[in-house]
């Protein structure tokens, strides 16, 4: 299993290394962490709520918003097979840094802090 979220193994599409940054499928990871994901087809923008924080990120952009405040990432998001892929750094906005272990090819993160404490 390539993900360990809140101490639980999650069966999600394998993370992708794209010339340095590691990308993960936003909806799958947010939901596995105890959050909610959304999609706005009119603006081609994915959203996610986790730990009481809401983020919106347009596909193909390095810019995103956290609770309405603009932020930026080092690389742009992309879409593949209907899934928006974001770099791991995106999850820092939720207060849930995600880490990739190249030896085990595993992403580890603590998603919903309330859920993790339960």
Q: Which tens digit of pLDDT belongs to each residue from 47-76?
A: 999 999 999 999 999 999 999 999 999 999
Q: Is residue 66 part of a domain?
A: yes
| Residue-averaged pLDDT of the chain | 89
Q: Is residue 34 part of a domain?
A: yes
Which pLDDT score, from 0 to 100, does residue 19 have? 82
CATH no. for residue 82?
3.30.457.10
Tell me: pLDDT of 117 over 80.
no
Mean pLDDT computed over 95-109 = 89
Q: Is residue 84 part of a domain?
A: yes
Which pLDDT score, from 0 to 100, does residue 38 have? 96
Q: Is residue 115 part of a domain?
A: no
Q: CB of 5 within 8 A of CB of 11? A: no
Mean pLDDT computed over 4-27 = 91
How many domains does the chain contain in total?
Answer: 1
Q: Is residue 117 part of a domain?
A: no
Enclosing domain of residue 60:
15-109
Q: Is residue 9 part of a domain?
A: no
User: Please, which pLDDT band fits residue 112 given cuts at 50, 70 and 90?
Assistant: low
Q: Is residue 77 part of a domain?
A: yes
- Which uninterrupted H or E stretch holds 117? helix 113-117
Provide φ and ψ at 86, rounded to 5°.
-125, 155
Tell me: pLDDT of 18 over 50.
yes
Q: Is residue 51 part of a domain?
A: yes
Provide φ and ψ at 6, rounded to 5°.
55, 35
Tell me: pLDDT of 114 over 70.
no
pLDDT digits (tens, 9 = 90+) for 29-46: 999 999 999 999 999 999
Cα separation values, 64 from 7, 10, 24, 114, Å: 28, 26, 16, 25
Which strands form 36-40's sheet, in the order they lie side by side? 36-40, 45-50, 53-58, 63-66, 69-72
């Amino acid at each position: 299993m390539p993900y360990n979220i809140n101490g639980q193994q999650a069966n999600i599409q394998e993370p992708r290394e794209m010339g340095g940054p590691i990308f993960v499928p936003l909806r799958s990871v947010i939901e596995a962490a105890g959050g909610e994901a959304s999609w706005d087809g009119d603006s081609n923008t994915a959203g996610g709520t986790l730990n009481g924080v809401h983020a919106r990120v347009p596909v193909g952009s390095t810019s995103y918003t956290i609770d309405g405040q603009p932020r930026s990432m080092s690389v742009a998001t992309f879409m593949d097979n209907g899934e928006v892929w974001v770099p791991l750094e995106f999850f820092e906005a939720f207060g849930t840094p995600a880490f990739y272990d190249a030896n085990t090819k595993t992403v580890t993160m603590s998603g919903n802090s309330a859920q993790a404490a339960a």
